[in-house]
């Protein structure tokens, strides 16, 4: 195939890793998947190819230097390979997902905290999800009739969020409150190109359950650190 | 005036914002005329709130009345909406484009936040911010490599993303007790090179003015 073999460095648990796979799968690009075993003990390969962020996913295409950052990878895959387009890239809403909804720090903290602190996060998240819900109205996918850039960007909502909710014993998203998002989630996770690179739900559940205590402990620590920052945007 | 109406471009912005300056520089690099609308961030206008209901922030580009938000998204939009103008993302090379997006994203994720912590915090927080700032600047210098600009020979996307922050270097230096020239001489040279471009010279404020602004902010927030 033109340009050389494609390899992805990923991690079973990671929805960001899935974004890269979903893009490749949707374009019909064959790739080899190299899974990190433990992100607390990262491989030489990962550190060598992503020295800046030291994170998954990483895309290796032939001899080129690595492409890093999941949304950058998705755009690269769309531009570098033939196949059904993921564009137009809805960069604004994809970024919104990373900063404010599903993939944001606040979302993660909402899962693993309790009481007043949790309620604060949940309130903001629910408002942001309402905005995202509006983007999915009346369409099968965010991209219209076909899975596109924003669908891939939002994949954590479809598959990882319900697992986290179950492990945390929290219900952030109900079909009553978010009918379009929930309908979209079903469509996305049953799509052929997506299904084959979704991490097995039962195994995700087992892995997250096993790490629940460490998630809670880290969340507590993160809250303490950020409350010392008093960061306000100008 | 007639030119502005023809292209229908307006920019909602705030004078000292490096994010807004990215857009101003991009518009000038492309030779696009636009109407600049200074916003009062303490008292946000109906126009701004309607144009950016999600984040309520500047910059916002209005193109024939339709809003585009988020500075790097605006810059990419300008490349796509005005294909006859000089492109900022490297054309026709997906890999180079991916690298450009990666480094612009790096600036977004790291620089502004670290800089803010540098002038707002004291003690351990401040010390950590200083260490991080040096690392960030060195990493960026590494990305620059031996090229004249981040994209190589041509001033491009990453240069646009980073150059407004060069006006903030003095502020970082004073609050961080560091020297960009000493830590990252190549980056300092790049900053000087960029400052020679009309689009940059016209749209950046003198570093002393930025420092004055930040000192004012500190007083306002009661941080001494």
- Which pLDDT belongs to residue B116? 92
Cβ of A137 under 8 Å from any chain B Cβ?
no
Mean pLDDT is lowest, of A200-209, A224-233, B36-45, for A224-233
- Which pLDDT belongs to residue B93? 94
- B19 contact partners, CB below 8 Å, separation of at least 6: B58, B59, B71, B164
Whether the Cβ atoms of residue A115 and residue B96 lie closer than 8 Å to each other? no
Mean pLDDT is lowest, of A2-6, A61-65, B154-158, for A2-6
The yes-or-no verdict on residue A1 having pLDDT over 70 is: no
- A177 contact partners, CB below 8 Å, separation of at least 6: A126
* Cross-chain CB nearest to B98 (options A75, A91, A233): A75
Q: Quote the radius of gyration of chain A (alpha carbons, Å).
A: 18
Cβ of B101 under 8 Å from any chain A Cβ?
yes
Cβ of B217 under 8 Å from any chain A Cβ?
yes
The yes-or-no verdict on residue A124 having pLDDT over 50 is: yes
Whether the Cβ atoms of residue A79 and residue A59 lie closer than 8 Å to each other? no
Bridge partners, residue B62, by sequence: B10, B67
Cβ-defined contact of A92 to B70 (cutoff 8 Å)? yes
CATH (one of 3.30.870.10, 1.10.3720.10, 1.20.1050.10, 3.60.150.10) for A91-212: 1.20.1050.10
Mean pLDDT is lowest, of A120-129, A199-208, B76-85, for A120-129
Contacts B98 to A, Cβ<8 Å: 67, 72-73, 75-76, 79
Alpha helices in chain A (DSSP H): 15-27, 44-49, 70-80, 91-99, 105-112, 115-136, 149-153, 155-168, 179-190, 192-195, 201-210, 212-227
By C-alpha distance, the chain A residue nearest B115 is: A231
- Which pLDDT belongs to residue B50? 95
Contacts B101 to A, Cβ<8 Å: 69, 72, 75
- The reply to whether ipTM tops 0.90 is no
Could you tell me which CATH class the domain A6-80 is placed in?
alpha beta
Query: If 0-12 CB within 10 Å is exposed, 13-18 middle and 19+ buried, where does residue A148 land?
Result: buried
- Domains, in order of start, for chain B: 9-81 (3.40.30.10), 94-221 (1.20.1050.10)
Q: What is the pLDDT of residues A130-170, one digit of tens each?
A: 999 988 888 999 988 999 999 999 999 999 999 999 999 99
Residuewise pLDDT in 10s, chain B (224 residues): 444 445 699 999 999 999 999 999 999 999 999 999 999 999 999 999 999 999 999 999 999 999 999 999 999 999 999 999 999 999 989 999 999 999 999 999 999 999 999 999 989 999 999 999 999 999 999 999 999 999 899 999 999 999 999 999 999 999 999 999 999 999 999 999 999 999 999 999 999 999 999 999 989 887 76
The rounded distance, in Å, linking the Cα atoms of A72 and A81 is 14
The yes-or-no verdict on residue A175 having pLDDT over 70 is: yes
Mean pLDDT is lowest, of A88-92, A173-177, B86-90, B130-134, for A88-92
* Cross-chain CB nearest to A76 (options B98, B120, B217): B98
The yes-or-no verdict on residue A101 having pLDDT over 90 is: no
Contacts A230 to B, Cβ<8 Å: 120
- Which pLDDT belongs to residue A231? 43
Q: What is the mean pLDDT of chain A?
A: 91
**Taking Cα atoms as reference points, which of B90, B80, B71 lies closest to residue B21?**
B71
The domain spans of chain A are 6-80, 91-212
The rounded distance, in Å, linking the Cα atoms of B224 and B220 is 10
């Amino acid at each position: 195939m033109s340009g050389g073999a494609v390899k992805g460095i990923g991690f079973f648990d990671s929805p960001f890793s899935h974004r890269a796979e979903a893009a490749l799968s949707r374009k019909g690009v064959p790739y080899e998947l190299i899974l990190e075993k433990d992100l607390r003990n990262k491989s030489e390969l990962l550190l060598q190819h992503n020295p800046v962020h030291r994170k998954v996913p990483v895309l290796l295409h032939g001899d080129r230097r690595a492409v890093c950052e999941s949304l950058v990878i998705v755009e690269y895959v769309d531009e570098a390979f033939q196949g059904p387009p993921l564009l137009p890239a809805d960069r604004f809403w994809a970024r919104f997902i990373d900063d404010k909804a599903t993939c944001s720090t606040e979302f993660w903290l909402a899962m693993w905290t309790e009481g007043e602190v949790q309620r604060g996060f949940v309130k903001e998240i629910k408002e942001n999800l309402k905005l995202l819900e509006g983007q999915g109205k009346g369409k099968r996918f965010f991209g219209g009739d076909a899975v596109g850039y924003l669908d891939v960007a939002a994949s954590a909502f479809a598959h990882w969020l319900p697992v986290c909710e179950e492990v945390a014993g929290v219900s952030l998203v109900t079909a009553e409150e978010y009918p379009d998002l929930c309908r979209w989630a079903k469509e996305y996770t049953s799509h052929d190109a997506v299904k084959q690179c979704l991490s097995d739900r039962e195994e995700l559940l087992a892995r997250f359950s096993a790490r629940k205590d460490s998630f809670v402990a880290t969340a507590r620590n993160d809250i303490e650190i950020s409350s010392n920052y008093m960061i306000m945007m100008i | 005036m007639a030119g502005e109406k023809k292209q229908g471009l307006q920019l909602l912005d705030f004078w000292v914002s490096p994010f807004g300056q990215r857009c101003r520089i991009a518009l000038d690099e492309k030779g696009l005329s636009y109407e600049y609308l200074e916003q009062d961030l303490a008292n946000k206008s109906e126009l701004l709130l309607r144009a950016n209901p999600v984040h309520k922030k500047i910059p916002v580009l209005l193109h024939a009345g339709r809003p585009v938000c988020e500075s790097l998204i605006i810059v990419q939009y300008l490349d796509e909406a005005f294909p006859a103008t000089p492109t900022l993302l490297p054309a026709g090379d997906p890999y180079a484009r991916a690298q450009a997006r990666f480094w612009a994203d790096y600036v977004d994720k790291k620089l502004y936040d670290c800089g803010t912590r540098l002038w707002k915090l004291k003690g351990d927080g401040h010390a950590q911010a200083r260490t991080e700032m040096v690392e960030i600047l060195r990493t960026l210098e590494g990305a620059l490599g031996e090229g004249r600009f981040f994209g190589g020979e041509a001033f491009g996307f990453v240069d646009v993303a980073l150059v407004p922050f060069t006006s903030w270097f003095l502020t970082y230096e004073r609050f961080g007790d560091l020297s960009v020239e000493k830590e990252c001489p190549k980056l300092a040279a790049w900053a000087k090179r960029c400052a020679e471009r009309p689009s940059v010279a016209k749209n950046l404020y003198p570093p002393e003015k930025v420092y004055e602004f930040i000192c004012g902010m500190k007083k306002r927030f009661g941080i001494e």
